[in-house]
Amino acid sequence: MDEKFNFELFEAEKLPQAVSDENNNEPQNPEYNDITAGRAPKKKKKLPKKAKALMIICAVLACVIIAGAITLIYPLLSAKHSPDRFVTSYVSSVIDGDWEKVYKNSSFFDSPFITRESFVEYCKTNPDAFAINKSKITDYKIERDRKDGNINYYSLNYITESGEQGVYYITLQMTKDGFYKYDTYKAMPIEGIITRAVIYAPQGTEIALNGNAVKSTSIITPTAAAGANEYSYSEYKSDYLFAGSYEITATNAAGLDYSQTADISSDNNIFYIALEVDESAALYDRAKSAIETLYRGALQNSINTDELGISKSFEGDKFLAVLKDAEEEVYYTNENLSVSDFEITNAKCEKAGSDKTYISYNSNGETDITISFDYKYTLSNKVDGTSEEKTNTGFATIKFIYQNSAYVIDNIASRAEF
């Protein structure tokens, strides 16, 4: 039996493989194919410049938004920017005895009187001073009692390992104003262990504690009667300090140097400074200068009261009356004579008595300076055109009061003959 084979079937199976082999034998570079095919090569597409710039701007904006979000969210999560989280962290530091962290989070951390080293050493030497309880705390709950301006009040209810229950109070002070999430807080110290000195002294006084300057926090001016002199004094508040012995010093241009050793505590922290007036120098010179200015002003029929330095109550009619008296002394009734070139050549104090004068927070240091003064002047004759230098001795009493950081003249009584 003759069998006939259909070879086309084998060719059909072979054809796809052949086509595949032909494709695999072609070069992979499409440009090469195009060139060999006589076609122009295809170019890769490039992004327009505007599109690239837009992508860069979007990337920068995304970074800015992310950074801004972190800046806004961080304060909300940070303990120091939230009073509730801050007090929780602070209590944990106290319980753990982490005194360096307690110091850092307390309002006295920048006081020149309480350094980190001195605070840590104090707490180690006195372990119960800042402790919530002498026994170990096993459980506690913190509650905010109230908020008063920048002050937050908290209470800590606790239980010790011995079963004792107690309450510990914590006060936080907001130390930076601004939006709530950016505020920072510090724990205020326990009264009795740490305190502040409050000092009242004449305005313009420089106060120091153990050599550290104490700044004036306010100027107090009590209400004065109409036409009366206003007397202001200053209030000084020190930084926080440990209760103990300190040297208070005060200096003022109008008074003698002051020094006092004081035991400062929460029960004894208010002090009043009285400075003895230094009459022997500054006020004597002022008295001489005032008399010279008065008579020269009388001769010129003009005087600058600002240079003279007079009090509020001595302004106006009272001073004009004194000036008129001086004018009558230097102007002769004889209109042919005139006085000029007035000058005090010497002056000395004639004040009797040894009573000391003081300026303080409630005293204007009123003091009378009496001087005798030698003076010379020129007397001229308008008729014959002659002139001669003459000398004489006069007397004056000048009333000084301390007002607004300086001594001013409150009255003048003087007598000089020409």
Look up residue 372 and give its two tokens. Answer: 């005798």
pLDDT at residue 14 greater than cutoff 70: no
Instruction: Write the pLDDT tens digit of every residue in 131-179.
Output: 898 899 999 999 999 999 899 999 999 999 999 999 999 999 988 655 5
- Strand ranges (DSSP E) for 203-332? 206-209, 212-214, 216-220, 233-237, 241-242, 244-251, 258-264, 270-272, 275-276
Residue 249: pLDDT band with limits 50, 70, 90: very high
Q: Which domains does the chain show, CATH number per domain?
A: 81-187 (3.10.450.50), 194-276 (2.60.40.3070), 279-415 (3.10.450)
Per the CB < 8 A criterion, the answer to whether 135 and 80 are in contact is: no
Model pLDDT, residue 100: 95
Model pLDDT, residue 75: 53
Per the CB < 8 A criterion, the answer to whether 150 and 173 are in contact is: yes
Instruction: Write the pLDDT tens digit of every residue in 331-358.
Output: 656 678 888 899 999 988 876 445 677 8
Per the CB < 8 A criterion, the answer to whether 167 and 154 are in contact is: no
Amino acid at 179: F
Mean pLDDT of the region 227-245: 86
Mean pLDDT of the region 389-397: 92
Task: Report how far residue 110's alpha carbon sits from residue 115's, in angstroms, rounded to the nearest whole number.
Answer: 8
Per the CB < 8 A criterion, the answer to whether 379 and 292 are in contact is: no
The whole-model pTM stands at 0.66
The count of C-alpha atoms lying within 13 angstroms of the C-alpha of 19, restricted to the half-sphere facing its C-beta, is: 5
Q: Is 36 exposed, middle or buried (0-12, 13-18, 19+ CB in 10 A)?
A: exposed
Pick the residue with more confidence: 27 or 329? 329
Instruction: Write the pLDDT tens digit of every residue in 287-319.
Output: 888 999 999 888 887 888 888 889 888 988 889
